[in-house]
Structure formats: structure tokens, C-alpha cells
Amino acid sequence: MPPRVETNPALIHQWVEEKQALEFELAWELLEVFNTRPNIIGPIRQRASAAAAEMIQAYYGSDDLRYAMTIAWSKEHTALGGVPGGVAGALRDFLTKFPSLGAVLMGSWNMDAQECSMLIRLYGAFVEQAAMLAHGSFYQWLAQRKLDYRRGFLDLKVKAAHDLESAALEMPGHFSNLMTRLRGRAGPAGMEWAVDTLNEPQTMIRGIGGGINRFKLLTHDTVLKIDRVFGLMPGASISGTTTDLMFFMDIFGIGNWDPIYYLLACADLVARGHHTIVETALPLALNGYIDYSVGFYTSLMPMGHRANKPATMHIDQGAVWNALDKAEQDRRNRLMLIYYDRHSRLYEGCYVADRNDNRFKLLATADDNMLRTFDTQFLDQWVTHEQLFKWMSLYYPV
């Protein structure tokens, strides 16, 4: 049965809000699994503390690596809101937080998944800087390995400095308060029902202060067009940080052991407002570990679909699956394809598929084929009904 059509713009906007809130909630559910399952968080803590030890040894080992570490620390803190005093301030901040190797290792067993993820991100930045400053070093080899995980990326990561005034929004201290606000919101009357309207999920995401808050996607960004058609949160484009995490997991041995650890990107980066689900799923799909279809959240699980890519065998895979399946079965998870008025850029209509529609699942597969489709002139920045119908006809022939 082909998807049905809905043309009420207020209802479409409500559905988009609900979908965006659901995906944000899913990230926090996944993060809870990563934080509370000892068999998952334990190995991550071990590897993150090993990376911290390596970085601190490098910092005290040579002038070049000390400078590389300082620049990396400055870069990552700038991404999270900045360190007073530039590079010099970053150096003081680093020495304050990591005065000795022992202090890091002593605290490693208390690190949560977010803190581990920050160390992983810092390690990726350090490798890049060390490769440029310490010529002929082991880090140049590592940097090339790191780059290999971005194979398959098109020229899609187009970002501009955020041109909106950063709102001083208070992030609730407890997640349940946040979800209460998301679930209980009644839409304001008289607003224009456009995808770029700052709705409640977007307001909360920007209040966290992550990458989505710092960057605004350019209007021709390929992933932004995907967001608009599928009713997803506009984010910060395809996630290079996800590939950094994959690189780290493999270099330190647990990604090759079990690819479920790659899903830390879908949990942490989304929960902290750096990226969206589809932005973290795309690099995993391009590297062959998942076959993700938008809205089919259980397809985030690494199931060994591709040749030479292992399926997860982790003892806690059931807990991850439950979180994904819960979101997939949620009433807010509507399988939507939205089209717009080219001139007003307002919602004109929406196709809604049944959740058991395998044709929609094929159409919604987030892979290089989808990227190439949305990267061409075949689909405008604001996809019209005519363009969307032409694309859908490849999967639902008339």
C-alpha cells in the first residue's frame, strides 16, 4: 500500500516536533545503556584511560608533542564553548585538569560515557596535531589510518559559523524534566509552519551548547535536505567525529572486538547536541558496519550485513536493541516524506508510510546512494511535490 498524503501544515509540524524529540530521547536511552552496563562501559573506560596516559606521556615527552597536545586541547574546548586566554589558557586548563598521569588513571573507573567520549575526541585531535608537528612520527601513520575512516564521504561537510545569537538557555539538571517539557508542549498559535522555525526540541538541543549550537548548516548542505524531507532535526552535517570514534575503537582494540561500541557516537554525540542520529549513522553505513534506514532504529545495530564486517556478539546487545526497538515502535515515529512550497518554503504536504512498508525502508536507506541522490540538482533545497513524487516513483511505480 503506497504512503497516504497529509496536507495539514500544523499537523505536519506537530509530527516533525514529535519525531525530533523522539530521536533526542533515543540518544539519552542509549547513553543510559552505555553508562549503566559494566560490560560496555568498563572496556571503554580502560581504553579512554590508556589514551589519556599516552597523551600525557607525549605531553611530557617532547616539545613538539607538548605543543600538539596544547593545540588539541584548545581546539576541543573551543568546540565546547571556548577556553579563556586562547592557547595559553588551554595550557593552564590542561595542566589543572591533568596534573599527573596518576590522577587520570585514579579517576578512570569513575568516568561516564560522556567523559570517555571527550577523551576519545581529544585523542583524535591530538593525533592530527602530532602528525603535523612531529614529522616522521608514528602519529603520521595514525593520522592516515584515521583519515581512512572518512572514505566514501562526498563533499558534504559544508558548515558556516552560526549566525544566530546564542541563546542563554538553561539546561534542566535532570533528564526527566527535559522530557516532560518536550512531551507536554502545546504549539503556539499563529506561527508559520516552516521547518526552520525554532521548535521545542531544537530549542533544547541548542541550549546544551554543542556543535549544533555553534554551526548553522548552509542551505545547500546535502544532509540538511535529507533532514527536511524526512522531518529530522537540522544538525551539523555528516559526522567526522563518528569516524574518529571508530578509528579510536579499532586502534585500541574494542571496535574490532565488537562493533556495538561504535554506537557510542549515536548516543553521546546526539545527547550532547553535537550531531543527529542520521549524521552519526551515515559514517557507520559508509564504512559498512550498519544498513541504517531512517526511522527503522533497530537497523542501527551492526548485524554483519556486509562482507567481512562482523555482527555484534556483545553480552548486552539486548539492552541496546530494546532501546532502539522502543523508539522504532513509538507512536511518534512516523515514516514521513515532506514536500514544500518552493517560494514560501512552508510545508505543503507529507507522505506517511506504514511502519511495515519495506519499500519505504529501502527508499530511506541512509547510504552513499541517498547522499548522491540528495547531493544532485534532482532535489532542490526545498523539495517540491513534483520532485519528491518523481523520486518516490522509483520505489512506488505508478
DSSP at 156: -
Q: Give the predicted TM-score (pTM) of the model.
A: 0.84
Name the pLDDT band for 274 (thresholds 50, 70, 90): confident
Predicted confidence (pLDDT) per residue in 340-354, tens digit? 998 888 999 999 999
Structural contact between residues 387 and 379, judged by C-beta atoms closer than 8 angstroms: yes
Predicted confidence (pLDDT) per residue in 39-98, tens digit? 999 999 989 888 888 888 888 888 888 888 888 877 776 554 444 444 445 555 555 655
CA dist 288 and 290 (Å) reads 6
Q: Higher pLDDT residue, 192 or 33?
A: 33
Predicted confidence (pLDDT) per residue in 321-370, tens digit? 999 999 999 999 999 999 999 888 899 999 999 999 999 999 999 988 89
- HEC letters along 176-226: HHHHHHHHHCCCCCCCCCCCCCCCHHHHHHHHHCCHHHHEEECCCCHHHHH
Name the pLDDT band for 112 (thresholds 50, 70, 90): confident
Quote the percentage of the chain above a pLDDT of 70: 75
C-alpha to C-alpha distances, 169 to 76, 78, 172, 224, nearest whole angstrom:
22, 19, 9, 24
The three cell numbers of residue 155 are: 563533499
